[in-house]
Amino acid sequence: MSKPSQRRLVLLGPQPGYASLREALGRLEITSPVAFVTAGWEDEESDPQQLQPLVDALPEGSFNLDLFQRSEQLFADDPDVIELLRDRQDELRHLRDVYRVRLDFALDAARRVVRRKEELIDIEPERESAIDMVRQLDRGYFDRTGEICHNYERRLDTARRPQVKRHREEISKQLDQAAAIVISGGHAAIILNRLKIFGLLETHTQLPIIAWSAGAMALSQRVVFFHDSPPQGQGNPEVLRAGMALFRKYLPLPDARNRLRLDDKLRVELFSRRFNTHQCVVFDEHTVLDRKHGKWTVSDRAQRLGENGQLVQVSA
């Protein structure tokens, strides 16, 4: 895999009309066909009705790598792969259940302490300590998920499986004809899994990547799921596991204006301070983060969660 600081990378927010995708292609002066990934759409990966607006936004001749459909075919041809992935998912799910129980209590304590006002003592060290307890829980969970995934990757040994090798060779030939790789949104974990299975980022490292929403999440150092008001359950932001680590500076929060209570200063402050090793970027349809030769440029309207509980300008 290429060094994170070297590969040209453009990160975008949701694409209701693919306007910023078109702008990104223009920014990179790409007019030749690109290879695109819609695995995050799962069964709708090749749905003509959903696919057509994307195809219209891309250069003529662009083609779908069909990673989701390829994985379904792989599972049918080599059932051992899906069995091992299911076992891995079971382990991760049980670990996540325990993490959620602990996280609920840790975050509740942090919220109470951050909210607390004291006149006789300096409460800030206690606030920082309470938030750091959440960080330690996140780090421990992140490390445990990494151990589980590494163990199963060793057992899967996908690079040595004939069916995987066949798909990888076919994809490599397709990438020979591509001017860039475009990765759509959808389900971040599905995208992440398919990128790993087919080793998509391990070859053709000279190709620039444009990714938006969940696609951008999958490329980050660590994937964090978030929703302050989910249809069910507690709305605590949760670490999922390591991403592809093509960049480390930013934590993408796609559609955060709809998924987070950005007018709640306490929640914004706690989120920002909890993940203080990253800039927690509010990715909307106007957000553009572009890395060229290791240096980032950021669109003027790009904002992140601030430790003061308000949105502030993203720093390049």
- The whole-number pLDDT of residue 120 equals 75
Which CA distances in Å does 73 have to 79, 166, 279? 10, 12, 38
Tens-digit pLDDT profile for residues 289-309: 999 999 999 999 899 999 999
- The whole-number pLDDT of residue 1 equals 43
- The whole-number pLDDT of residue 275 equals 98
- The whole-number pLDDT of residue 229 equals 82
* Burial zone of 45 (CB within 10 Å; 0-12 exposed, 13-18 middle, 19+ buried): buried
Structural contact between residues 148 and 95, judged by C-beta atoms closer than 8 angstroms: yes
Structural contact between residues 217 and 193, judged by C-beta atoms closer than 8 angstroms: no
Task: Name the architecture of domain 9-78+162-313.
Answer: 3-Layer(aba) Sandwich (3.40)
Q: Which of 49, 50, 30 is nearest to 41 (CA)?
A: 50
Q: Which of 106, 33, 24, 107 is nearest to 64 (CA)?
A: 33
Rounded CA separation 48/204 (Å): 28
Q: Is 270 helix (H, G, I), strand (E, B) or coil?
A: helix
- The whole-number pLDDT of residue 154 equals 95
Q: Which residues of the chain have pLDDT under 50?
A: 1-2
- The whole-number pLDDT of residue 2 equals 43
| CB atoms near residue 305 (< 10 Å) | 28
Rounded CA separation 300/291 (Å): 15
Tens-digit pLDDT profile for residues 53-95: 999 999 999 999 999 999 999 999 999 999 999 999 999 999 9
Beta strand pairing call for 311-313 and 303-305: antiparallel
- The whole-number pLDDT of residue 207 equals 97
φ, ψ at 234 (rounded to 5°)? -85, 135
- The whole-number pLDDT of residue 26 equals 96
- The whole-number pLDDT of residue 5 equals 57
Q: 0.75 cut: is pTM over it? A: yes
Mean pLDDT (the chain) is 94
